[in-house]
Amino acid sequence: MSDTALASANGRKKTMSDEEGPLISVIIPTYNYAHLLPRALDSVLVQWVPWVELIVVNDGSTDETGPLLAGYAARHRGLVVIDQANAGAAAARNRGLRQARGCYALLLDADDELLPHALQALRATIARHPEAGTVLGGQISVHPDGRERIRGPTRVPSASPLQLSERYLLQKRIAISHGCALFRRDFLLHRPYPENLRGGEDIPVFVHMLISGPVVTTDAALARIHKHRDSLRHDRGDEEARAQLLVEEVFAGLPPECQPLRRRYAAQRYLSLFRTAVQSGDRLAAKRYFGAAWRLHRLQVLRWSYLRKAARLFFQ
C-alpha cells in the first residue's frame, strides 16, 4: 500500500514522513483501572507503528495507575501520558482529543483491548475510503461468564441526516461502540463529549458523527469489548433530570431537519426510565414515566414490550 494513498482530514494527501503528525491517535481514558489497563496498553503497543499515536489520560486515579503509567512511559518512548484531576470520562476523552495530533481518533476504554492487526485494517480502510468520517468495524463481545460473541459492523446506508438520526436514536438499527470505531478527529472537536452528562455522553457524539460525513465499514474485528454491569445504569438518583439533559444535548448538535424527532426521542428516554422503574419494583415512578412517554409521543409507546409491562402495572 502506498503511503500517498492516505489522505489527511482536510483532503490533502498525507505521507508517513509528514511532520504534521500521525494518522491515527489511540486515546485511552482511565480511572482506577490499574488492574486492567496493561491489557489495553499492550494490545496497542504490540502493533505500534510510526503512524500511530498512543495517549493515555489518567483521570485522577487513586489506585496504582500513576506508577503503572510511569513505568510504561519509561519503557516506551513516545507514549503520551496526561494527568488531570478527576472530571469524568467525557472530560478525559476531550482532553485526549485536544492533545492528539492524528487525523483520526480511536477511543479505547481502559478495560477493553484492540485485536491484533486492528490498526493495519483501519489504515487499509482509510486508504480505500479517504472520504470517510467514521469507520465501523467488528468486535468480540466478552461476557462476564466468559462467553464470547463475534459481532459484525453495522452497514450504514447513504441517507439524510433525519433518516440516519432516526435509525440510530429510535430504531436502534445502527450500533456504534468505542474501541471498534474510528472517527475523524476534527469532527469530534466540533462536537466534544458533553461533560455535564453522567452516562450516555457518547450518544450525542455518535449521532453527530453519523450525519457529519460518510460512514464506511471494515469486516475486520477490531476489539474485544468486555461487558460488565454498568453501575450508572442502576443509579436512579436524578434519573429524570439526567434523561432530560441527554435529550437537550443530543438535539443541541443536530440540524433543524432533525428537530421533529425530539419529542419522540424524549418519549423513548421516558420509556427507558419506565423499564428501569419496573425492574426496580417502583410502581409509582413507573406509572409516572409511562404517562410522560404517552403524552409526548403515543406511537413510540405502542410497542408490545412496553404495553405488556404497562398492562401488568396498571391492571394487576
Give domain limits for the chain.
3-228, 233-315
* Mean pLDDT value across residues 216-244: 83
Give residue 314's pLDDT band: very low, low, confident or very high (50, 70, 90).
Answer: confident
Whole-number pLDDT of residue 101: 97
**pLDDT tens across 30-70, in order?**
999 999 999 999 999 999 999 999 999 999 999 999 999 99
Residue among 34, 35, 76, 86 at smallest CA distance from 55: 76
d(CA 247, CA 251) in angstroms, rounded, equals 6
d(CA 86, CA 60) in angstroms, rounded, equals 4
Give residue 227's pLDDT band: very low, low, confident or very high (50, 70, 90).
Answer: confident
Between 16 and 87, the more confident residue is: 87
* Mean pLDDT value across residues 240-250: 97
Whole-number pLDDT of residue 196: 95
Whole-number pLDDT of residue 229: 64
Q: Which residue has the cell 482511565?
A: 30
Whether 231 has a pLDDT exceeding 60, the answer reads no
CB neighbours (10 Å) of residue 153? 24
* Mean pLDDT value across residues 91-115: 98
Whole-number pLDDT of residue 13: 41
State the DSSP H helix or E strand holding residue 218, giving kind and residue range, or none if neither. Answer: strand 215-226
Whether 249 has a pLDDT exceeding 50, the answer reads yes
What is the Cα 102 distance to its own chain's centre? 18
Instruction: Give the alpha-carbon dihedral of 285, 288, 293, 295, to 10 degrees.
Output: -170
Give residue 14's pLDDT band: very low, low, confident or very high (50, 70, 90).
Answer: very low
Whole-number pLDDT of residue 10: 41
Residue among 191, 211, 195 at smallest CA distance from 105: 191
Q: What is the CA radius of gyration of the chain?
A: 21
* Mean pLDDT value across residues 233-259: 90
d(CA 30, CA 194) in angstroms, rounded, equals 17
Whole-number pLDDT of residue 234: 53
Give residue 237's pLDDT band: very low, low, confident or very high (50, 70, 90).
Answer: confident
* Mean pLDDT value across residues 211-231: 89
**pLDDT tens across 126-179, in order?**
999 999 999 999 999 999 888 999 999 999 999 999 999 999 999 999 999 999
Whole-number pLDDT of residue 25: 98
Q: Identify the sign of the CA torsion 177, 203, 6, 109.
A: negative
Q: Which CATH class is domain 3-228?
A: alpha beta
Q: Report percent pLDDT > 70 for the chain.
A: 91
Average pLDDT of the residues of the chain: 91
pTM of the model: 0.89
Whole-number pLDDT of residue 4: 33
